[in-house]
Amino acid sequence: MLKINRAVTLVWQSSPFWTTIHSFVAIVQTLLPLIQLYLIKLIVDSIASSLKGTSQSQNFNHILFLLMGTGIVMLLTNFAAVIAELVSTTLSQRVTDYMQVVLYRKAIEIDLESYENPQYQDILERAKWEAPHRPTRMLNNLTSIGQSALSLIVVAGLLITMHWGLISILVVASMPMMLLRVQQSKALYKWQRHQTELERKANYFGHLLLGDSPAKEIRLFNIGNLLIEWVQELRQQLLREKLALITRQASARLLMQGITSLAVLAAYGFMIEQTLQGKFQLGDLVLYSQALQRGQGALKDLIGNLASLHENHLFLADLYEFLAIQPTIAKPLHPTTVPYPFRRGIVFENVSFRYQNSARFALKQINLSIQPGEVIALVGENGSGKTTLVKLLTRLYDVTEGRITIDGIDIRHFSPDDLHRQISVIFQDYTRYQFSAQDNIWLGNIELPITSDRIVQSAHQSGADAVIQTLPQGYNTLLGKWFKGGEELSGGQWQKIALARAFLREAQLVVLDEPTSAMDAKAEAEVFQKFRDLMRDRSALLITHRLSTVKMADRIYVMDQGRITESGTHDQLMARRGTYAHLFEIQAKHYQ
């Protein structure tokens, strides 16, 4: 009952007005057919009375009046059906849109680490399936249950006046069907949960076949038909399982429906026998037979909607499972303000970290510092832990051991939002927003007006302005090819846009993960020639494989397998003749 209340609450929150109208129209739709049934009974009785010799003229006028009333009720019924469709469509769309926003808001609250967990991906996938329509379905189930129950109450009152056994036959005959539908709902839910990962895998193949990023390799390696075969095998497996489940359920329902039909036929036979014996008038026979028919339909609808309500209740649990996920990055109840400006800088003190459900430490005993105004570089092979270190610094993850401080204050004492305002990061896998060039840069600091002159200034600093000036609509040009009129950029040009986004943010620390990896040597040289001026009083943390770009750093840390193995200036590390010097000399040979 609690989950039903939550579902109704979600629908109400999406649109109180349309939910109220929906409920009112449902009540009207329930009452109108019952009024029409009673009017038909009166018409039949009047006709029977006329045939017995009473005043035909008076009866005809009475019948005409009843017919007019029946016609009005029929018109109102049709009108109510049109209104109900309009209201239902509007409310469904309102709920769908509202639930999408609920999902989006929850998704941005959840820690980054969750996205690297397959179990979370299954939960998210099920929530995406169920969120848009399950609350509306539950509301419709409850509405239909109310309508069916109201109809049954009226019908039961009529049938009991004839014989109490009639309603008993209907109820008893329908109980096995109700129990069967509940069991089948559980079986369907269990199967749906079981096949979530297979469904995600099939969708992944679809992403590969339809996405723009994999398109080049799929064609060059000629693997498109292979992927299609794999996805067909998965879909056939899912179809076989679903058909087997549906076949079993349909066979059981057919048996139960046969039992119910026999009971209803017996009730009809009883009513006909009573009429032939003269215990009921012809109008009574029409009334009771129609009442029995409507009672059977109402009971069938009641059972079906109760089963559907149970089924939707089960599936809605997947949404609540997603909404119940709590971030592991705890926000302090009374956060400390991030120092501005930094005075002592950032310090990693014996920091170690391992990912969830992993016994291996990705970082071990990291000690480093970034003083105000310093440019620090991290170098090392792929997988050495450089990007993970940045994620800890920005509290996308929390350290497993040790601590990270700013001016001696543990960063866990800061509000994550406040911390993020002081750190501007562009990761190696930066996002290529399919927005205008202006929007792409403005997203780096949405607290500024979108027309701010600083957008162009940041584009000049990163070299993006020269690229943007060549575009058809300049800064208003849509980037990317997802939407009509978009202009695609090269990897290096996109990287300049991303750098402009990082420079726009008024942050005390700028973190650049492989900031020029897609640029040619000339563009890279231009960026780093003015890098010092760009930083001014800011600190900077550079992650790069191109060791020629880190010579200007105040201090260089060399990482290997999650540890810092060397640190110092370029000259100091070259004189030490260690890993850094070896890597630098190898790269230098390619330029000689």
Residue 199 pLDDT grade (very low, low, confident, very high; cuts 50, 70, 90): confident
Residue 563 pLDDT grade (very low, low, confident, very high; cuts 50, 70, 90): very high
First-last CA distance in the chain: 76
Q: What is the pLDDT of residue 371?
A: 92
Q: Report, as an integer, the average pLDDT of 379-407.
A: 90
Better-scored residue on pLDDT, 275 or 206: 206
Q: What is the pLDDT of residue 141?
A: 73
Better-scored residue on pLDDT, 201 or 561: 561
160-169, 300-309, 515-524, 580-589: range with lowest mean pLDDT: 160-169
Q: Is the pLDDT of residue 525 over 70?
A: no
Q: Report, as an integer, the average pLDDT of 452-480.
A: 92
Q: Is the pLDDT of residue 285 over 60?
A: no
Q: What is the pLDDT of residue 418?
A: 92
Kindly report the backbone phi and psi dihedral angles of residue 355, in degrees, each rounded to the nearest multiple of 5, phi listed first.
-70, 160
pTM of the model: 0.70
Q: Ranked by mean pLDDT, which of 120-134, 275-289, 361-375 comes out on top?
A: 361-375
24-38, 45-59, 206-220: range with lowest mean pLDDT: 45-59
Q: Is the pLDDT of residue 465 over 90?
A: yes
Q: Is the pLDDT of residue 384 over 80?
A: yes
14-18, 52-56, 348-352: range with lowest mean pLDDT: 52-56
- Each domain of the chain, given as residue ranges in start order, spans 2-194+257-323
Q: What is the pLDDT of residue 526?
A: 67
Percent of the chain with pLDDT over 70: 75
Better-scored residue on pLDDT, 588 or 377: 377
Average pLDDT, the chain: 80
Q: Is the pLDDT of residue 290 over 70?
A: no
Q: What is the pLDDT of residue 461?
A: 86
Sign of CA dihedral 207, 208, 209, 213: positive
CA distance 501 to 498: 5
Per-residue tokens: 473 = 């609509």
Q: What is the pLDDT of residue 365?
A: 94
Q: Report, as an integer, the average pLDDT of 100-105.
A: 83
Better-scored residue on pLDDT, 267 or 25: 25
CA distance 112 to 199: 23
Name the burial class of residue 125, with classes exposed (0-12), middle (13-18) and buried (19+) by CB atoms within 10 angstroms of its CB: middle
CA distance 98 to 92: 10
Q: Is the pLDDT of residue 283 over 70?
A: no
67 near 43, Cβ under 8 Å? yes
pLDDT in tens, 434-443: 999 999 999 9
Q: Is the pLDDT of residue 53 over 90?
A: no
Kindly report the backbone phi and psi dihedral angles of residue 352, in degrees, each rounded to the nearest multiple of 5, phi listed first.
-130, 150
> Which residues have CB under 8 Å from 538's CB, separation 6+?
373, 507, 508, 509, 510
Q: What is the pLDDT of residue 207?
A: 75
370-379, 401-410, 505-514, 539-548: range with lowest mean pLDDT: 539-548
Residue 533 pLDDT grade (very low, low, confident, very high; cuts 50, 70, 90): low
Q: What is the pLDDT of residue 482?
A: 82
Better-scored residue on pLDDT, 73 or 195: 73
Beta bridge partners of 556: 377, 568
Q: Is the pLDDT of residue 360 over 60?
A: yes
Q: Is the pLDDT of residue 281 over 60?
A: no
- 475 DSSP assignment: G
CATH architecture of structural domain 2-194+257-323: Up-down Bundle (1.20)
Residue 497 pLDDT grade (very low, low, confident, very high; cuts 50, 70, 90): very high
CA distance 251 to 259: 13
Q: What is the pLDDT of residue 164?
A: 59
